[in-house]
Every structure is written in C-alpha cells, then in structure tokens.
Structure 1
Amino acid sequence: MSTPPTLSARLALRERPEGIPLLRQQWSELLFLHWPVPAALLQPHLPPRLQVDTHDGMAWLAVVPFQMSKVRTRVTPEVPGTNAFLELNVRTYVHLDGVPGVWFFSLDATSALAVWTARTFFHLPYLRATMRMDTPSPNLRQFMAERTHGGAPPATFRATWKIGAPLPPSEPGSLAFFLTERYCLYASNKAQTKLYRGRVAHTPWPLSTAQLLHYESNLVEGHGLATPTVPPLVHTGGAVSVELWPMQQV
C-alpha cells in the first residue's frame, strides 16, 4: 500500500521542477465544487497502485469548470484559435509512494486539438464537448457544457455562481490547502497496467468564496459514482500561469 504523503512532502511539491516544461498555459475563472466521499467508495475506481488521498479520514470528489488560455509549447508561440478554450473535469485526490496528486475521471474540452494532444502525450481521458461561459455581471458566472465525444457516455453540466470575497492564502494542512495545492497529475493506460505521473508548477491559487446559485449535471453518475447528497464546498480560483512537464511512467 502506498505511504500517505507527509505535510513536508506536500509543501515540497510547490518547488518548480528542474528542466524545461513541455507546455505553458493560463488557468482562470475556476469553480471548485467539492463533495466529501468515503474513501472506500472511490478506491475501486482507481488503478491498483493508486491510493485515495484523504483529509481527516475523508476523501473528496470534485467537479471543476474553468477557462484555459495562452496555451503554447516550449518551442512554439500561441496559435490563435487553439490557444484558448473551456474545460470541465471530474477528479479526486490520490497518492503513490508518498507523492500526492490529482486523478481525473474525465476531462471535457472544447478544443479538438487539446483533446488529441492530452490523450496522445499525457494519457489523460480527455473528451470533446461544447461549452459556454457567460458573465451576466462582474461577479456572476454561468457555465454550460454538453459532451459530443463519439463513443463516450453522454454528459451535461449547468451551473451558475456568484463570486464572493477573496480568501487569505491557504494554510498548510488546512482543507483548502489539501484540495487546491496539487502539483502532480496521475494517469494510466486503458488497461490500467501502467501508471504515469506529471509535474505541474504554478503559484498557489488565489481563492475566493462563492455562492452556488444553480447546479445540474450527470457527470459524476456517468463514472458509476453515486450522486452527491450533500451541498458541495464551493470556492472560485483566480488566474494562474501554469507550466506542465512530460508524463513519466512510475
């Protein structure tokens, strides 16, 4: 069984890795929707070597819509038409050999090129979808998504939220730190016989409170997971510049 991460191991991942990143991009307009879930319910949905990461004994399931922009590789500039798109992911938190990270059940995106690139080079379960984000007022956001990827389970998402007051930086060891300070991605091949880990670097999230005004979705249920029965913990995240390194087999 994988050794649970120590707080020092979580903090160490804030340090930028050596070498040149494969991709650079900006993430912004995030909505973090988190539900507490017993770890025993999530563990069967993970590859054999990965363990669910917990905070005070509880695992967490998340749905996160956001805007991706300024996308470019380490050797190419931004290409208009491919450098900005919307994304929506369903995820939980895991660890392997004491290294914490994110496990994605699915990632829907509006860019066909991004879907192909992520599936081919990062082994991530990206799917094509149509999406739209509206800003009726400075602090109000509306996000709509419908999956269009051939052969994938149908899925829809609708949410409206109001951005609240900025929060202070997340304290190490706090729940907000556990949920948002994540600097590794995990992925596997389709047979789940190989595991990959990739590093991510960015400044800690500038979080704000938020009020969820409307939510309807079947994204979670599409993965064979139970419908959350409690209201989610809600945060929003401001813009961060992100660097991603190539996935390595572990």
Structure 2
Amino acid sequence: MSTNSSTPTRPRFPLMRQRWSELLFAHWPIEPELLRPYLPERLELDLFEEQAWLGVVPFTMSGIRPLGLPAVPGLNHLHELNVRTYARLDGVPGVWFLSLDATNPLGVWAARTLFHLPYLHARISLTETDGTFRAVAKRTHRGAAPATFAATWMPGKLLPRAQPGTLSHFLTERYFLYTAGPNLLEDVRGTNLWRGQLFHEPWTLREASLREWDSTLVEAHGLPTPVGEPVLYAAEPLEVWVKELRRV
C-alpha cells in the first residue's frame, strides 16, 4: 500500500497564495497499464493496494496573488477542472495531471509558460444554490481535443480527518505535483521533469452525492469511460501556498 509523505511546513516566502473552494474529488479505479503511456518513463505510477486511480476535480481558485504583490482584480479568480492520477519519483508521491481546464486566459498562459502545466482554455461556470453545487464546462483551447462537463452534487455529513494508509488520504492529501510540460503527449516523451510543492492544512472532507454527471474529459484523452460509481469527497474551502517548482 502506498502512503503519502507528511504535510510540508508552511513556507515563509511562498511563490503564490490562493484559496480553493467549491471542490469535489471524484475518482475511479483504473488499470495501471492504461495510464502508463501518459506518464514519463522516470515516473512510477502511485498505486493504492496495487490499483491505480483516475480523478476528475472541479473547483474554484480565488485570491490568487504572487509573493509580495496584491491580488489583481480580474486576474485573481478562476474555475478549474482537472483530470489526474498519482505518481512518485524517488519515493516522493505527487499528483500527475493529464489536463487542467480553466477559465482565466492569462492564468492559463502563466501556468503553461511558468509552471509547465498542461492547462487548457475553457468556459466554466461553478455555482452553489441552497447547498447544491453545479459545474458546467466546455473546452475552447485551440488544437486540443474537445471536451464538455456537467455535474451537480450535494455535500453530505462531515467525515473524520483522513488518516495515512486509507484510500481517502491517498486520494486527497497530496502536497507535490509533477509535470513534464504543457503539451502532455509530446512532453512525456522528452527529458524535462519538474516537481512542484505546496502547503495547505489537511482537507476537511464531507460525503457527497451526485445528481448529475455528464463528462467527456476522460474520453478526450483516449481513455475509456470510467465504469461504476465514483468515490466522492466534497471539500471545505482552504488556503493554499505554492512553495516552489524545481527541475528533477
């Protein structure tokens, strides 16, 4: 069984600060060999009890501001939808993103250029009405495979804090990310690899129930449609500090 590393300490001089809210973790088990072509050779798939996992995560990012600078109105807020799995290098577990669709054009450019992440332009709305959340998205990135998304979910009762060695901890408590470049299928065949690190308090998770799920985000990568009901966790808002991005 894989276990995640301990939570990094809060940085004194972070690269960036942001707030994540309206977040849903939706995960399905997937055969490891299906994901292997989407990772560089150097990265090892991170497995839970010999099983790989594929996740789709909608959320809102707000209060985005670089170190020492105030938030810029119009540039400090976006909605995001990411498709992810989990990987490790030299024993350090992290998130591996297949795609990150987002609404802010400048934010997408910065994430692709400065952080080498496979961000894509999209139109996304994410709203809350009487405790029910709804996200609707359409990818608009030129040259990228088309994808759409629509989901409605309701958070349920509060869950105990996820403990190391449990599936909930494996799927949610991640403080590192890996990326090979902004163009996934081209860059995974190259030699570049970066590890990013961030800090936040442990997630406060809730049960969640779906009222709607209609997505082609996974299929846009050439992967099969996930089968069965997803493992769901709704998350309470939290503050996030981006610590660093280093070539590894």
Q: TM-score of the superposition, structure 1-length normalised?
A: 0.93
2-structure distance, mates of 1:162, 1:235: 10
Q: Deviations over 1:200-221 (max 9, x none)?
A: 1000111000001110111001
What is the alpha-carbon distance in structure 1 between the residues aligned to residue 213 and residue 21 of structure 2? 20
Greater mean deviation of Cα atoms: 128-137 or 82-91? 128-137
Give the superposition deviation at 1:17. Answer: 6.2
Q: Deviations over 1:97-153 (max 9, x none)?
A: 10000000000110011101100111000011111112221x211100001111111
Q: 1:156 to 1:100 in 2, by over 3 A?
A: same
Aligned position for 1:102: 95
TM-aligned CA deviation for residue 192 of structure 1 = 2.9
Q: Deviations over 1:29-57 (max 9, x none)?
A: 10111001121221122111111101111
Are residues 25 and 229 of structure 1, via their aligned partners in 2, closer, same or farther at CA, if it must alter by over 3 Å?
same
Measure how far apart 1:228 and its partner are.
0.7
Q: Among residues 166, 177, 197, which one is paired with 1:174 in the alignment?
A: 166
**Is this contact kept in 2: 1:62–1:90, CA < 8 A?**
yes
SS, match of residue 142 in structure 2:
coil
The answer as to 2:108 corresponding to 1:115 is yes
Q: Which residues of structure 2 form unaligned runs of 5+?
A: 182-186
Specify every segment of 5 or more residues in structure 1 that has no aligned partner in the other structure, as ranges: none
Counterparts of 1:61-140 in structure 2, within 5 Å, are 61-137=54-130, 139-140=131-132
Distance 2:78 2:224 in 1: 29
Establish whether residue 219 from structure 1 lines up as the match of residue 212 from structure 2. no
> How much does 1:165 deviate?
0.6
One-letter amino acid of the counterpart of residue 128, structure 2: T
TM-score by length of 2: 0.94
1:159 pairs with 2:151: yes
User: Which residue of structure 1 aligns with residue 136 of structure 2?
Assistant: 144
Local SS of the residue matching 1:246: strand
1:71–1:51 distance in 2 versus 1, CA, 3 Å = same
Offset at residue 240 of structure 1 (A): 0.9
Residue 8 of structure 2 corresponds to residue 15 of structure 1: yes
Paired residue type of 1:218: T
3-state SS, counterpart of residue 219 of structure 1: coil
1:186 and 2:194 correspond: no
CA distance in 2, matches of 1:120, 1:44: 23
Distance in 1 (alpha carbons) for counterparts of 2:169 and 2:209: 20
CA distance in 1, matches of 2:178, 2:163: 24
SS at match of 1:247: strand
- For the residue of structure 1 that corresponds to 2:244, the secondary structure is coil
Cα RMSD of the aligned pairs, angstroms, is 1.4
Q: Percent identity?
A: 49
> What residue in structure 1 maps to residue 204 of structure 2?
206
In structure 1, C-alpha distance between the alignment counterparts of 2:38 and 2:137, rounded to whole Å: 24
Counterpart amino acid of 2:141? H
CA contact (8 A) 1:130 1:146 kept: yes
Aligned to 1:246: 244
Which shifted more, 238-247 or 90-99?
238-247
